[in-house]
């Protein structure tokens, strides 16, 4: 409503309220910034849930069916919003097809940190444990990959990225986004993942060390680790 007011009306309103015009604009600026931050977080959380339902359908479901699933799960969301988010991350409802994902080759120089979580993912407060996974997306514009980092207490997606490759920078870029979402205040947080080459790479180790994050990995072949964030 404030954006529709003419300058003269804003001046008159601030005079009646006993506040300065500059103070009004500063308050409006802060309110808008907060709203955008909240909206961005909501969109990121929604994207993770949409991918989850899309995967469960083997890539068949489009916006209508996914909207129905989200509503059944308690989400208040419109089909238009779901369609927009799906378009943003390159996801669409298509017929399932057979694909073969290239197997990862373990780098003999890679580092393998211990399992600091032992399947106790939610430890009672935020930023104790973050989990991450790379998800394969089947979509109309070619094969894509989604990497996400999620706080296991709040269940919020803190950082995520979509690209047509699954190189290490897909993971480190998403991790940098997660760190930024916490204002850089995440020293001591455990980052738990599987033993994919992206997570054992030197670049991933360096990124975690720079931010004071503690890496953690489950045993090879244990599906519990990937299931939570997926």
**pLDDT for residue 184:** 93
Of 54 and 36, the structure prediction assigns the larger pLDDT to 54
Average pLDDT for 37-61: 80
Confidence of residue 145 (pLDDT cuts 50, 70, 90): confident
**pLDDT for residue 164:** 84
Average pLDDT for 208-223: 80
Angle formed at CA 145 by CA 139 and CA 147, multiple of 5 degrees: 135
How much of the chain, in percent, has pLDDT values that exceed 70? 69
Confidence of residue 220 (pLDDT cuts 50, 70, 90): low
Cα dihedral 91→93→99→101 (10° resolution) = 30
Average pLDDT for 34-50: 75
Give the CA count within 13 Å in the CB-facing half-sphere of 136: 12
- Residues 88-120: tens digit of each pLDDT: 877 777 544 434 444 444 555 678 899 999 889
| Beta-bridge partner residues of 217 | 193
How far is it, in rounded angstroms, from Cα 44 to Cα 118? 27
**pLDDT for residue 72:** 87
221 CB neighbour count, 10 Å cutoff: 8
Q: Give yes or no for residue 32 having a pLDDT over 90.
A: no
How far is it, in rounded angstroms, from Cα 1 to Cα 24? 13
**pLDDT for residue 13:** 52
What domains appear along the chain, each with residue ranges and CATH number? 2-88 (no CATH), 129-229 (3.30.420.10)
């Amino acid at each position: 409503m404030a954006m529709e007011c003419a300058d003269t009306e804003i001046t008159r309103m601030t005079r009646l309220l006993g506040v300065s015009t500059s103070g009004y604009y500063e308050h409006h600026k802060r309110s808008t910034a907060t709203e955008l931050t909240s909206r961005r977080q909501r969109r990121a959380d929604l994207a993770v849930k949409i991918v989850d339902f899309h995967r469960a359908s083997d890539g068949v479901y489009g916006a209508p069916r996914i909207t129905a699933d989200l509503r059944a799960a308690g989400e208040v969301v419109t089909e238009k919003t779901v369609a927009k988010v799906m378009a943003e991350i390159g996801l669409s409802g298509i017929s399932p097809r057979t694909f073969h994902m290239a197997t990862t080759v373990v780098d003999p120089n890679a580092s393998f940190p211990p399992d600091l979580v032992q399947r106790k993912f939610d430890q009672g407060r935020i930023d104790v444990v973050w989990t991450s996974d790379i998800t394969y997306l089947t979509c109309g514009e070619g094969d894509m990959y989604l990497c996400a980092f999620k706080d296991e207490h709040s269940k919020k997606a803190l950082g995520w990225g979509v690209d047509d490759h699954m190189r290490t920078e897909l993971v480190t870029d998403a991790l940098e986004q997660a760190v930024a979402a916490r204002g850089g205040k995440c020293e001591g947080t455990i980052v738990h993942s599987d033993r994919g080459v992206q997570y054992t790479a030197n670049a991933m180790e360096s990124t975690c060390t720079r931010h004071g994050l503690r890496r953690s990995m489950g045993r090879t072949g244990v599906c519990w680790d990937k299931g939570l964030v997926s």
